[in-house]
Amino acid sequence: AGRMDLEKQAFDLRECIESAFDLVAGRATEKGIDLAYLLDPNVPPVIIGDSTRLRQILLNLLSNALKFTHEGEVVLAVSAEKEEDGPLYQLHFAVRDTGIGIPPERMDRLFRSFSQVDASTTRKYGGTGLGLAISKRLAELMGGRMWVESAGVVGQGSIFHFTLRAEPSTSPLPIFLHVKQPELSGRRVLIVDDNATNRYILMRQVQSWGMEASETAYPHQALDWLQAGQTFDVALLDMQMPEMDGVALATEMAHCCLSRHPMPLIMLTSLGLREADALEVKFAAYLTKPIKPAVLYTTLLNVFGKQPAVQKVIQGVPASDLPAAAGRPLRILLAEDTVVNQKVALHILERLGYRADLASNGLEVLEALQRQPYDVILMDVQMPEMDGLETTRQVRSGIWLGSHHAGSFKYQPYIIAMTANAMQGDRETCLAAGMDDYISKPVHVDELSLALGKAPVLHQDEARPAGAPQPVEAPAGEAIDPQAFAQFCQAMGSEAPLAIRSLLQDFIVESRAQLDELRRAVQAGDLEKTRRDAHSLKSSGMLVGALRLSEQCKTIEVAARQGAPAPIPGLLEQVEAEL
Ligand code: ADP
């Protein structure tokens, strides 16, 4: 009905874009289509606006582009221009595909509700013909417009453009992404990828860090360079290339030159780690497309054995300044109905060192409370079946407990409302329903952390005693807790097995690197670093349900924090075995 209020919140534009890509990456892999995105350096990193709606538009355009493309690539480019009068920027997004294209005479119909290019589209591709109409309206609400460009030639594809006006946020977000990095500067990179867009993006990125890059589309040319005596510090090899794939190239490189001039090899792939362990050549890392600059950055530092020169900062708060979640063993229930929001909230919680159980409506919240106590419920206000307000009233009244529980019921969870329509009076409504606190959506790491900091820990009796930590007795059973893993899958959207698989692959690669770091810290006797590294590995483990691993890391973390290093080497052995 066009009656819609937009959020006005500072958010990280890159994170918003990456989260939209995360959701389509699985489908791109299945179809063998390359994904990439490119942000001009002058695009403000943090803008004020409605990140959920922007993601909705991007997701829509990216899904369409993938749907109507059978081979080639889908690329998002973002540019920005400052308006002359005032602080606002015009942001321009363009989603380009190499798909079936749209005949010029049909273009004007596209943005009308319930319209598709022709009737055969519906038969072949399905869809409702609503996505673009909604996306266009959203772009207009954001002060922009939407249009399309296409020659209507199969293979030349289409470009969907939209603009919006936004104010950059002044909150300091240290952007390591576009400045020279002392640890990387001057290092020589070899890039071999048949996809020109990808090469261009990688070149620009590594050059902005001060690296010297040589690129080629041809594996044979790379081999020629090496045979002619050229040396590099690292090579980025694409897996899928027509002439010779990444593994074959790596094998050739190993035969001809790597013994004389060893260098780490990094694989770029949308296929994942398949059979990686059986390979003759070991890759130092595997990166999934689209390549995220932040991931490329940490990977490069890792292969060079360095720590990030700039600490990773989440929306203005250095991760190390966030309250140590380990000290506050909160049990959290996240009540939220949309998968994207679940994913984002869980992701933020995890960064804060927390794990949460999930409920997707009020009835599920009540069920979850029957099963076990929670310290905190993060409660979405609008949910199907039973909304957050009604759920809170029921929780507070205790009716839901049923007769057999009522007597033993001694606590009430701390309820934090999450709502996207930050309207006047909402806060009061939430508090009146019995909620304790209120945060706005999209959830911000610092706001959430503050709110969680106020919640009392209810189940102190179950928290680990503060005395000297004992090595944990490894519980019998699987390394991956099935229930925790199921929750992880649910949070990732169980309809996206490929996304889950690629995340698990990231976990394998990353946790090995984290373990190496931890081992180094223990060997150096650096308790502070040991604590930090154990903490990181603990959080990664929790995310995928490796609960025993997490528990072991936590014991190391606690020992290091208490300055009691004696049991650490023994514990480290356990962690190694577990991993
Ligand atoms: P639907 O749910 O049917 O995909 P949309 O409003 O998102 O609804 O798209 C409307 C129609 O526009 C599609 O059915 C398709 O015919 C056409 N279309 C959208 N994006 C593309 C694209 N990238 N390439 C070719 N055709 C497209």
pLDDT at 327: 42
Alpha carbon distance 459, 52 (integer Å): 35
Ligand 1 center to residue 92 CA distance, Å? 20
Ligand 1 center to residue 128 CA distance, Å? 9
Alpha carbon distance 536, 311 (integer Å): 14
List ligand 1's pocket residues with C-beta within 6 A: 60, 64-65, 68, 97, 99-100, 102, 110, 116-117, 121, 127-133, 158
Ligand 1 center to residue 157 CA distance, Å? 12
CA torsion angle for 432, 433, 435, 440 (degrees, to 10)?
-80
Judged by DSSP in three states, 20 sits in helix
Judged by DSSP in three states, 403 sits in helix
Ligand 1 center to residue 64 CA distance, Å? 6
Check if the beta carbon of residue 88 is closer than 8 Å to that of residue 168. Answer: no
- The predicted-structure confidence for 535-559, as pLDDT tens digits, reads as follows 888 877 887 788 889 889 989 988 8
pLDDT of 276 > 80? The answer is: no
Alpha carbon distance 265, 269 (integer Å): 13
Least Cα distance to 312 among 44, 560, 536, 79 occurs for 536
Q: In DSSP terms, which residues pair with 49 in a beta bridge?
A: 9
Structure tokens at 288: 């999934």
pLDDT at 546: 87
The chain-wide mean pLDDT, for the chain, equals: 80
- The predicted-structure confidence for 150-185, as pLDDT tens digits, reads as follows 998 888 999 999 999 999 987 554 445 556 777 888
pTM, 2 dp = 0.47
Ligand 1 center to residue 392 CA distance, Å? 41
Rounded mean pLDDT, 307-320: 32
Check if the beta carbon of residue 62 is closer than 8 Å to that of residue 99. Answer: no
Check if the beta carbon of residue 520 is closer than 8 Å to that of residue 511. Answer: no
pLDDT of 405 > 60? The answer is: no
Distance between terminal CA atoms of the chain? Answer: 53
| Phi–psi pair at 235, nearest 5 degrees | -125, 135
Among 33, 56, 64, 134, which residue has the most ligand 1 atoms within 8 Å of its CB, making it the best to mutate? 64
Alpha carbon distance 231, 279 (integer Å): 23
CA dist list (Å): 521 to 123, 532, 536, 565? 60, 9, 13, 12
Higher pLDDT among residues 405 and 370, named by residue = 370
225 contact partners, CB below 8 Å, separation of at least 6: 190, 214, 216
Considering only CA atoms, which residue is closest to atom 13 of ligand 1? 116
